[in-house]
Amino acid sequence: MAYSEKVMDHFANPRNVGEIPDASGVGEVGNSKCGDIMRMYIKVEGNVITDCKFKTFGCGAAIATSSMATELIKGKTIDEALKLTNKAVMEALDGLPPVKVHCSVLAEQAIKAALSDYYTRQGIDPTPIVGVITECDHEHGCGCESCG
């Protein structure tokens, strides 16, 4: 399966690359098999994610999914961002080859990790809200929450 035009676009021209110096939350996740690392910065005002940036040391699909994920949560409420699944990121990119599904999982996890950090900084235990951030390769029938 070839990459979609949207994947190629977000890989070649990633949106929201960089850091937020006064971020409300920063999350970093990695995949131990491929070694790719994704770091996500969010700025929260009230209940809204007003800004989101990322730095990804990883493959093209990881860059494209990070870019799309930041676009999808920017301007959204925390609740909406928490509901963002890797499937939604993949759909927004018109799909990914099966071997690249795990890259979209990293994007979902990076957002959750940033939100966890946001809650931790407020003195709130993030686990009941954000859940446990686990590494899943989303291989056939893994049964994790994102895979459903």
Q: Which of 73, 103, 110, 111 binds ligand FES (CB under 6 A)?
A: 103
**Which one, of 23, 19, 24, 20, lies nearest residue 122 by Cα?**
24
Q: Is 48 helix (H, G, I), strand (E, B) or coil?
A: strand
Segment interacting with ligand FES, rule: CB under 6 A, options 9-17, 56-64, 114-122, 140-148 = 56-64
Q: How far is CA 119 from the centre of its chain?
A: 17
- Whole-number Å distance between alpha carbons of 130 and 79: 10
SS3 content of the chain, % helix, strand, coil (to 5): 40, 20, 40
In the residue annotation, 59 being an active-site residue is answered as: no
Segment interacting with ligand FES, rule: CB under 6 A, options 9-17, 30-38, 78-86, 140-148 = 30-38
Segment interacting with ligand FES, rule: CB under 6 A, options 55-63, 79-87, 90-98, 137-145 = 55-63
Smaller CB distance to ligand FES: residue 14 or 58?
58
Q: Nearest residue to ligand FES, using CB?
A: 34
Question: Is residue 114 a contact partner of residue 42, using CB atoms and an 8 Å limit?
Answer: yes
Q: Which amino acid is at 22?
A: D
Q: Which of 59, 72, 81, 90 binds ligand FES (CB under 6 A)?
A: 59
In the residue annotation, 34 being an active-site residue is answered as: yes
For residue 123, what are the contacts with CB-CB under 8 A and spacing of at least 6?
A: none
Binding status of residue 107 toward ligand FES by CB under 6 A: no
Binding site for ligand FES (CB under 6 A): 31, 34, 36, 58-59, 61-62, 100, 102-103, 106
Catalytic residues: 34, 103
